[in-house]
Amino acid sequence: MRQESLPGIILALQELGDCRSMSRNRLWREQSPKIQAMDKILRQFQARPLLRLLSPPLGDGFRLEWQRIEGDDLELQAVLRAVRLTQEGQIASLKKCANPDCKLWLFARFGHQRFCSESCKENFHQSNEADKKRRREWARENYKTRKILDSGSKVAATFKRKKNAK
């Protein structure tokens, strides 16, 4: 059996999308092939349930955990969390950092969040060719504008009025 990596499992779960609002018939009709493919992938994880007693700061009683029979238990926990996020409709918030030099994943608190950290975002924008081009064009335009405004001529006054009118 082919072993799927955790990123592959997350991407497959994201393809399912948010199924919470779908009726059972619609879910079966539209998502059945994807669910069956996911089941095939998840079969590689064989686990047994364990009851863990909670320590006093966490509360009384116990909690149910799953322990992998063979392989890495940490990977199983990550897959279970990803499945839980899918059930809650939040799997789309789990993203790979948009910086190609970064290998990290993030849980995006906002839909537009693309980077794992501010420094990773800055590194991306400093090395991205499209951003470099945009900054060069801005600098060139800014230089021309400053030169006109610093000249103090009638052209500069007209330019200021046009710019303020926008």
Query: Which pLDDT tens digit goes with each residue over 69-107?
Result: 887 788 888 888 888 888 888 898 999 999 999 999 999
Domain boundary residue, one of 96, 119, 150: 96
Whether 14 shows a pLDDT value over 80: the answer reads yes
Measure the CA–CA gap between 130 and 134, rounded to whole angstroms: 6
Grade residue 134 by pLDDT with cuts at 50, 70 and 90.
Answer: very high
Q: Which helix (H) or strand (E) holds 28?
A: helix 24-42
Phi, psi of 49, rounded to the nearest 5 degrees: -80, 145
Q: Do 19 and 72 share a domain, yes or no? A: yes
- Residue 117 located in a structural domain: no
The confidence score (pLDDT) of residue 96 equals 92
- The rounded percent of the chain whose pLDDT value lies above 90 is 24
Residue type, 33: P
- Residue 106 located in a structural domain: no
The confidence score (pLDDT) of residue 159 equals 67
Mean pLDDT of the chain: 84
Q: Do 85 and 154 share a domain, yes or no? A: no
- Residue 112 located in a structural domain: no
The confidence score (pLDDT) of residue 138 equals 92
- Residue 69 located in a structural domain: yes
Whether 3 shows a pLDDT value over 70: the answer reads no
Whether 120 shows a pLDDT value over 90: the answer reads yes
Measure the CA–CA gap between 160 and 149, rounded to whole angstroms: 8
Average pLDDT estimate for 104-112:
92
Whether 6 shows a pLDDT value over 90: the answer reads no
Domain boundary residue, one of 75, 96, 117: 96
Q: Do 90 and 154 share a domain, yes or no? A: no
Identify the burial level of 133 via C-beta atoms within 10 angstroms of its C-beta, where 0-12 means exposed, 13-18 middle and 19 or more buried: exposed
Whether 1 shows a pLDDT value over 60: the answer reads no
Strand partners of residue 15: none
- Across 96-114, b (16+ Cβ under 10 Å) vs e yields bbebeebeeebebeeeeeb
Q: Which of 127, 82, 77, 78 is nearest to 102 (CA)?
A: 127
Q: Angle 59-60-63 (CA atoms, 0-180°, nearest 5)?
A: 85
Full domain range(s) for residue 135: 129-165
Q: Angle 69-75-77 (CA atoms, 0-180°, nearest 5)?
A: 85
The overall pTM is greater than 0.85:
no
Phi, psi of 53, rounded to the nearest 5 degrees: -70, 135
Q: Which residue has the higher pLDDT, 23 or 139?
A: 139
The confidence score (pLDDT) of residue 2 equals 43
Residue type, 59: G
Measure the CA–CA gap between 95 and 90, rounded to whole angstroms: 11
Quote the number of domains for the chain.
Answer: 2
